Amino acid sequence: MRSAAGPQPTRLVGAGLALPPFCTTDKLQGQGKPSPYETRNVFGKTKQVARPPASWERRKMVHQKQFSLRTTGQGDMHDITHEVAAAVTASNIQAGTVNVFNIGSTAAIGTIEFEPGLQQDLPAILNKLIPPSRSYGHEQAWHDGNGHSHLQATLLGPSLTVPIAEGKLVLGTWQQIFHLECDVRGRQRTVMVTVMGDK
């Protein structure tokens, strides 16, 4: 029901401002002022929403890079911290996050103290938790010997997100980013690095 006091200001989506009744972006621009509003289609309806500040649009950045590595088979670990750090440096992003993603379902990404003892311990504990076996449903379907590889990789996960501050990875002194091969044979792997944040 319309209020007796007349039309009410239109509340803008995602903003704490109200657009005066019947005022359009064209009228605001006609006064020689850049409009703080823009028209968007929201769920099939045209709405006026607050326009992001030009400084935000200029500074918000996404940078992607991919690199390849060759593995020798199950349990082969690589320290990929340097490659990820290089992608962050190339992006010029000062504050944000970087996502590191292994393309494929039988390898994993994570962090660890990258030293010879743990390079042996991690694959060994995975083989105890999820040992090679022909009894997995995957083996019954495909008979390719890597049912446990899929499960081990799924347990650890294919990706990792690391914060960025002052243009650098935020990692502990003894914390490196690793890539672990879980498949039963050597593979040519591709890792996608996505850097997001402000310059």
pLDDT of residue 46: 73
**CB-side exposure of 127: number of CA atoms within 13 Å?**
12
| Integer Cα distance of 193 and 62 in angstroms | 10
What does pTM read for this prediction? 0.72
Q: Find the mean pLDDT for residues 41-48.
A: 67
- The residue written with tokens 């657009």 in the block is 19
Tell me: pLDDT of 198 over 80: yes
- Min mean pLDDT across 39-43, 86-90, 153-157 is at 39-43
Q: Find the mean pLDDT for residues 94-119.
A: 98
Annotate 158-185 with DSSP letters as a single string: SEEEEEEETTEE---TT-EEEEEE-SSS
Residues ≥6 apart with Cβ < 8 Å to 153: 105, 106, 107, 108, 180, 182
| Integer Cα distance of 153 and 158 in angstroms | 7
**Closest listed residue to residue 180, CA positions, set 155, 153, 161:** 153
- Ordered domains of the chain (ranges, CATH): 10-51 (no CATH), 60-198 (2.60.120.460)
pLDDT of residue 16: 44
Tell me: pLDDT of 97 over 90: yes
